[in-house]
Amino acid sequence: MYGRAFSCLGRTLDLISQDCLAFHEDHVFFDVYNGSVLATSEGERIAEALGPRKAAILRNHGLLTCGETVESATWWFISLEHCCQAQLAVDAAAFARGIETLKIDPAEVARTAKRARAEKAGYFSALPTFQVMEVTEPPKLKSLT
């Protein structure tokens, strides 16, 4: 829900929290909306815009994330959704008060972003989520044998 709302603003995330640093120079805003996508060419355009980055905010649509593992791609999506939620709240509060949002100092961004956006960070961050799902959501597939 928050990613969909944020995608209507036409921008990428501000560096307002440590969580956002995972997406520093590692996400794009895909500024094209062609309605329902039925052609592979749209996916090719998104992939080209995404390039080597882990995430895209798709205009008037929502979020897309990728990773080297299902775990990391899942974590990046969850994290990006939470970052969009925080960004919307911070922007609304700052606007209501007539103030600017506080951004993380560029020197601190340089020191912290590399660790925060590492593939292993995404993988290991997702493991507890998958462990909870394994306990709370029993398998629904029946064996074919």
- What is the residue-level pLDDT of the chain in tens, covering all 145 positions? 999 999 999 999 999 999 999 999 999 999 987 767 677 888 889 999 999 999 999 999 999 999 999 999 999 999 999 999 999 999 999 999 999 999 999 989 988 888 888 889 888 898 898 888 888 877 776 666 6
Would 143 be classed as within a structural domain?
no
State the total domains in the chain. Answer: 1
User: Looking at residue 45, which CATH number applies to its domain?
Assistant: 3.40.225.10
The answer to whether the predicted template modeling score (pTM) of the entire model surpasses 0.85 is yes
Burial 24-53, CB ≥16 within 10 A → b, else e: beebbbbeeeeeeeeeeeeeeebeeebeee
DSSP 8-state class, residue 87: H
Residues 107 and 104: their CA atoms lie apart, in Å, by 8
Would 145 be classed as within a structural domain?
no
